A = this chain, B = another copy of it.
């Protein structure tokens, strides 16, 4: 029986994790690899990753699919909360990292490894998200991050691989792209500046359609459950809407945000389905929720988005906020029409049996029978009463 130490490596097949794979073996570890799919890999890509891992000498490789879990435990609430970080970014990568890390931790516990390795560098958010989840779920396992610890440059990594006889097309691709169910992030030379937008070619989906169309999204209890009258699971709904909408080159932007480690970071993204679904869902909510619900949801979403971004998904307050969201979504049922055209979309309108803007209860701009002008006059007087008193008390000062 071997007394070799075992390590589980989070494996993507890129330069960094290929390096780690060899380096860990050299350190004397038995290397196991795992790839966690959050909706961004095809079957073929996953098969290739497994093959690649084995060819690098791993003991075993697992592909774990958490797409459905990712929807049920995070995306559902990102929609319910209309969560856009700094009113811009649908937290595409932030959210999926949590579920990748959790799946890796479970795999590590199952395999009984001594350590977990990941290929993060020392300047981004992901290192913190991975470290934190591992520390929380399996604090007894060592965490190894060769790229971060050795401050390796790309060139050094490539040289190391060449020296070890590992072939690969390592010439730096112009853009680093991370794809998942809830959007794709894109980094490249422009995102290292403050003043340039990403080149058109940097976005994974190119404009394919030139006309326009209206798509009808069905929501039930806040969840997307159909497109153009056809019932779908929420995951299917996101995938199919993304196919339709990304052909119009929608949901693109560049966001500058605060990394967990305090520096500012700029990231491009393409997230057609997320951006459209949130806008559509929010419009439906404006029709069916009270103003107090809308306001409180906006306040809570600031916190929910920030905590998720900073890797605090496992804090129990997140479960508490999700209970709040679940309660608010009771009547968020109806259909939303969205108009799509190249590079732009807008919400046409909504239909819902829970719409509070029903003509029988008074129309904006027209008079209603359940109250009188006198009622509103009285309301206005009392509603402004405290400020009337305030201004009386202080009128000599002003």
In the complex, the answer to whether B302 meets A316 with C-beta atoms within 8 Å is no
| Known pairs A257-B286, A286-B86; A348 contacts B379 (CB<8 A) | no
CA distance A260 to B127 in the complex (A): 21
Chain A positions near chain B (C-beta within 8 angstroms): 82, 86-87, 121-124, 127-128, 131-133, 135-137, 139, 143, 145, 148-149, 151, 176, 187, 191-197, 252-267, 282-283, 286-287, 289-296, 298-300, 302-303, 306-307, 310-312, 314-317, 319-324, 326-328, 330-331, 337, 339, 341, 343-344, 346-352, 354-359, 361-368, 370-394
5 CB-based A-B contacts, threshold 8 Å: A258-B294, A259-B364, A262-B386, A263-B368, A379-B381
* Besides A148-B376, A254-B347, A343-B344, 20 new A-B residue pairs in contact (Cβ under 8 A), listed by A number: A87-B282, A122-B371, A132-B383, A135-B384, A136-B384, A148-B367, A187-B364, A194-B351, A194-B355, A262-B386, A263-B368, A264-B286, A264-B287, A321-B324, A322-B327, A356-B386, A356-B389, A358-B393, A371-B382, A376-B378
In the complex, the answer to whether B368 meets A123 with C-beta atoms within 8 Å is yes
Which listed residue, B143, B176, B375, B389, touches A263 by the CB 8 Å rule? B389
| Known pairs A123-B366, A323-B326, A378-B376; A356 contacts B135 (CB<8 A) | no
In the complex, the answer to whether B197 meets A349 with C-beta atoms within 8 Å is yes
CA distance A143 to B373 in the complex (A): 12
- Shortest C-beta distance, A356 to chain B (Å), equals 5
Report B-chain residues with C-beta under 8 Å of the C-beta of A316: 289-290, 293, 328, 330, 390
Copies per assembly: 4
In the complex, the answer to whether A365 meets B145 with C-beta atoms within 8 Å is no
Report B-chain residues with C-beta under 8 Å of the C-beta of A352: 194
CA distance A256 to B149 in the complex (A): 37
In the complex, the answer to whether A364 meets B292 with C-beta atoms within 8 Å is no
Report B-chain residues with C-beta under 8 Å of the C-beta of A391: 136-137, 314
Closest chain B residue, CB of each to CB of A252? B346
- Shortest C-beta distance, A170 to chain B (Å), equals 17
Which listed residue, B123, B262, B317, touches A389 by the CB 8 Å rule? B262
- Shortest C-beta distance, A268 to chain B (Å), equals 11
- Shortest C-beta distance, A4 to chain B (Å), equals 24
Closest chain B residue, CB of each to CB of A296? B317
- Shortest C-beta distance, A255 to chain B (Å), equals 8
Report B-chain residues with C-beta under 8 Å of the C-beta of A319: 327
In the complex, the answer to whether A261 meets B193 with C-beta atoms within 8 Å is no
CA distance A289 to B373 in the complex (A): 31
Interface centre among A255, A349, A391, by most chain B C-beta atoms within 10 angstroms, is: A349
Closest chain B residue, CB of each to CB of A362? B263
In the complex, the answer to whether B124 meets A263 with C-beta atoms within 8 Å is no
Report B-chain residues with C-beta under 8 Å of the C-beta of A253: 346
In the complex, the answer to whether B256 meets A283 with C-beta atoms within 8 Å is yes
Which listed residue, B256, B330, B373, touches A122 by the CB 8 Å rule? B373
- Shortest C-beta distance, A248 to chain B (Å), equals 11
Q: Which 6 residue pairs are nearest across A and B when measured between Cβ atoms? A: A378-B378, A265-B364, A262-B385, A375-B378, A131-B380, A195-B349
Report B-chain residues with C-beta under 8 Å of the C-beta of A149: 373-374
CA distance A362 to B298 in the complex (A): 32
Report B-chain residues with C-beta under 8 Å of the C-beta of A314: 384, 387, 391
Report B-chain residues with C-beta under 8 Å of the C-beta of A145: 373, 377
CA distance A367 to B122 in the complex (A): 6
